[in-house]
Amino acid sequence: MVYLKHQVFISFSPRLLPPKKTPLTSRTLPMALSSMAAAQESSLLLFLLPTSAASVFPPLISVVVLAALLLRPETAREILVSPAFGDRPVKDAARQLLFHRAMGFAPSGDAHWRGLRRASAAHLFGPRRVAGSAPEREAIGARIVGDIASLMSRRGEVPLRRVLHAASLDHVMATVFGKRHGDLSIQDGELLEEMVTEGYDLLGKFNWADHLPLLRWLDLQGIRRRCNRLVQKVEVFVGKIIQEHKAKRAAGGVAVADGILGDFVDVLLDLQGEEKMSDSDMIAVLWEMIFRGTDTVAILMEWVMARMVMHPEIQAKAQAEVDAAVGGRRGGVADGDVASLPYIQSIVKETLRMHPPGPLLSWARLAVHDARVGGHAVPAGTTAMVNMWAIAHDAAVWPEPEAFRPERFSEGEDVGVLGGDLRLAPFGAGRRVCPGRMLALATAHLWLAQLLHAFDWSPTAAGVDLSERLGMSLEMAAPLVCKAVARA
C-alpha cells in the first residue's frame, strides 16, 4: 500500500537539535510518521504532508498529518500567525462530535467563526467577565482546600488529580452554565464526567478513517458509532440546560452581576443578527467549552503541584510571597491578591514551559492557500504542526532548559505566555489562539496561591514520577499522590 504521496522538507539551523525526550509516540502521530520521526534524531526538518492524495488514488488515500520535529520560534510564527494557515484540519471524530461548528475547528473564513470570535473576545472571555467570575474561583479554591484537608485526615495522603479534576469541572459548569456546586444531581455529574472522558478517548485515538477515507463508511474501529452515541447524550444534556435558560429568561429571571449578564449560555442567547445561533450550534459551542475547559486547568495544576512537591525551596519562596500579600486577613487568598504575586505567576509560566498541556495536537494548522514558510513554497491543503514542547526544551532558545527555574522570568527577560512570543506560547498564537487563556491563567494563579497558603506540600515514600503521557493533552503518566500538612 502506498501511504505517502510526497513530502515537502524545510531545513532549519543545525543548532536546533531536539531533546532526546521529545514526546513523539505512535499514539500521537500516525504510525508511518512516528517511526519516521523516531528515526530522524534531528530537528533540521519540518515534514509537511498534503492532506489529500486524491489526485493519484481517488478516493482511497488521504494523507493528513506532518511530522514537525522542531521549529525556530520565528518560523513557528510564520505558521501560527499567518492567515494562510488560518484553519485547523478536522479529524473525522472531531467532525462527528460537532467540533467543526465550534470555535476550535470552524473554518476561519466562515461568518459563523467570525461571530464566535467576536463574541468570545467581547463577552465570553473578556477582562470584565474574567474579573466578574472571581468569587466563583475563590469559592471553588476554598472547596479544594477543604477536600484536601479531609483526604489527609482520612488517608494520610492526597490523590490530587481527582480533587483537581472535580474542581475544574465545577469551575466549567459555573462559568458556562451558571450551575453552582451541588446544582447537578449525582447522576448528571457522573454523566458529564463520562461524556468528557469518552470524548477525550475518541479524539485521542489513531483513526484510520482520517487517512483512508473509504474506511469512514466501514467504521471498522467503531469510532463513528461511539461518536454518534456520545453526541446523542451531549445534545440531550446541553439542550436541556439551554431550554432551562430560555424558560428562566422568559420569566424575567436572568441575573445581572456588576453589569455582566448571566453565564455563557445567556451570552449566546443574546447574540443577534448574523451572530445569532441555532440551538444546534449553541450545543456545539457549549460542548466544546466544557470539553476543552474541564481538563486543561486540572492538568496544568497537577504539574504545578508536582513541581512544588519536588522543589521545597521554590515552594517556601512562593509561600512567603503569598503570606506577605495576605497578611493577617481572615478568609485567606483573594483573587485581587494575584496581581501582587509575581513569583506565583512565574511558577505557572515555568510549568507551562516545561509541561505545555498541548505540545503538539493543539498546534495543527491547515494551509487554506499556497504560502511560503521560511522561504520555501508550501502548497494549499498542507497540514503543519509546531512542536512547542521541543521549542520550550531547546538550549538554543532557553538556557538550562531542563532546570525548573521560575526566576528566569524575573532575572532575565519576562517572556509572556499569551501568544505574542513564540518562545513560550502554550495557548497558541494568531487567530487560533486559545480564547480562554486569561481565564485559565487567572484560575491557576489563584488556586496555586490558595493551596500554598493553606498547606506545606511534600512527597510520599513513593516520590514523584514526572513521566509524561501524551494523549489529547500532555499529562502526568502517574497521577500525583502527595502529602499536604496544614500550615500554622
Question: Which parts are annotated binding residues for heme?
Answer: 434
CA-to-CA distance for 229 and 97, rounded, in angstroms? Answer: 10
Is the bond preceding residue 399 a cis peptide, omega within 30 degrees?
no
**Cell numbers representing residue 105 in the block:** 475547528
User: What amino acid occupies position 207?
Assistant: N
Quick check: 195 and 234 in contact, CB under 8 A? yes
Is the bond preceding residue 406 a cis peptide, omega within 30 degrees?
no
CA-to-CA distance for 261 and 362, rounded, in angstroms? Answer: 31
The DSSP H or E segment spanning 46 is strand 45-50
CA angle, residues 296, 300, 302, in degrees to nearest 5: 120
C-alpha distances in Å from residue 35, one per residue of 40, 171, 188, 458, 464: 9, 40, 42, 39, 30
Quick check: 52 and 62 in contact, CB under 8 A? yes
Residue 92, Ramachandran bin (φ over 0: left; ψ between -120 and 50: alpha; else beta): alpha
Known binding-site residue numbers = 434
CA-to-CA distance for 102 and 104, rounded, in angstroms? Answer: 6
DSSP state of 87: B
CA-to-CA distance for 121 and 268, rounded, in angstroms? Answer: 13
Quick check: 73 and 391 in contact, CB under 8 A? yes
Quick check: 396 and 15 in contact, CB under 8 A? yes
**Cell numbers representing residue 189 in the block:** 455529574
The DSSP H or E segment spanning 186 is helix 186-204
**Which segments within 394-461 are labelled E, that is strand?**
455-459
Quick check: 74 and 26 in contact, CB under 8 A? no
Residue reference for cell 514537525: 68
**Which segments within 230-279 are labelled E, that is strand?**
256-257, 260-261
CA-to-CA distance for 139 and 121, rounded, in angstroms? Answer: 25
